[in-house]
Amino acid sequence: MSEADAAEARVERTRDVLRKALADKAHGEIAVVSSFGAESAVLLHLVAEANPATPVIFIDTQMLFAETLAYKEELISHLGLTDVRTVSPDGKAIRDNDTYGRLHLSNPDACCGFRKTHVLSEALAEFDGWVTGRKRFQAATRNNVELFERSTDGKLKLNPLAHWTKEDIDDWFERFDLPQHPLIEHGYLSIGCASCTSPVENGEDARAGRWRGSDKTECGIHFENGKLVRTADAGAGE
């Protein structure tokens, strides 16, 4: 099989997974979780193609780049998404956990915990599963991400772009003239909170700019009991 044929096969597999999950409801009620970051437009374009009324959950940690918030609005309009839900830590949680907005400097795991992990857990309570944009090429911590995973709470996690390559992503942006996150041109290849994200240097992986200078590589929403969840659920795609 040529590389072009292999790429097309990946696309068709992704479309099939999303159609079954989001249009046919084959796995119950499924939400999409999106950061509206550097590569998010590709997954969201495919989601809109399958069902533009799909619930899309966006976590506003209250520490995001202004460019990300503006980009979110641009993509919603461009793609015709009709059910984007912004969730955030409430004021009391911020006052109790991070009064001065400096927790990320001493305990970034705790900061992500109350600003992202807890907020997402509450937002997903009503759903049977969720779709992520994780891809194997993004970092060593993601190099064996499966198409389907099952978490210990029983929720199905779908990673429809798991096997896509960086070339696939770039081609999709060009093919459909998708708008780019405005920070891309400044070297930000993976974009989270402004306080913990820096540009990526040549030769570094896309997530090297996240929590630079520490051994932290993930925010924690894909962890259970401190470990990455990679339990495959091969039957989910049937």
Token couple for 186: 């400044």
Token couple for 140: 């060593």
Helices 66-79, 40-50: axis angle to 10 degrees equals 30
- Any idea of the CA torsion for 163, 44, 118, 194, to the nearest 10 degrees? 90
Reduce the DSSP state of residue 149 to 3 states and report it.
strand
User: Using an 8 Å Cβ cutoff, are 146 and 121 in contact?
Assistant: no
Reduce the DSSP state of residue 171 to 3 states and report it.
helix
Single out the residue of 86, 83, 72 nearest to residue 120, CA to CA: 86
111, 112, 196, 219: the active-site residue:
219
CA 107 to chain centre: 22
Token couple for 198: 């820096």
Which residue reads 């209250």 in tokens?
A: 62
Residue type, 186: H
Is-catalytic flag, 219? yes
The residues assigned a catalytic role are 219
